[in-house]
Amino acid sequence: MEFPDLESWGWMGPGHDYFESGNMDIFGHAPRECMAAMPCKMLLVSDGSSGKPDWYVNFVEIIQIDTDLSVLVRKFFINGWLSVNKPPYQLFAYQDLCGNDNTAVA
């Protein structure tokens, strides 16, 4: 899945400054169908276009609630910068958790 304008999916309300230090940003979307399987790979990319392009990311969490109200959760821990000014000096984070069973069922 690709989300080219992530901020438009934001749930934080008017005036919230997304992608800023110290902020918890929550995004959501209700697709018509659930994913066939929880994603096990994640590529998070910043285009660095804002006035403050450095973005510290703790984690990306994907939550899927099925029609029977079962919940699946996958968490990708980043704990690093998407920045050209701070280590690791890149505007992306990639994780491949395929083969790891880190999907929680609630």
DSSP string, the chain: ---TTGGGGB-S-TT--TT-TT----B----SS--SS---EEEEE----SSS--EEEEEEEEEEE-TT--EEEEEEEEEEEEBSSSTT-BSEEEEE-TT---EEE-
d(CA 41, CA 38): 9
Contact 64, 45 (CB under 8 A): no
Domain ranges in the chain? 32-105
Contact 96, 40 (CB under 8 A): yes
9 φ/ψ angles, rounded to the nearest 5 degrees: -95, 5
- Indicate whether 105 pLDDT > 60: no
Contact 33, 64 (CB under 8 A): no
Residues of the chain with pLDDT > 90, as a percent, come to 26
Per residue in 58-90, pLDDT (tens digit) is: 998 888 887 788 888 899 999 999 999 999 999
Q: pTM value?
A: 0.75
In this structure, the number of other CB atoms found within 10 A of the CB of residue 21 comes to 9
Per residue in 21-31, pLDDT (tens digit) is: 777 888 887 66
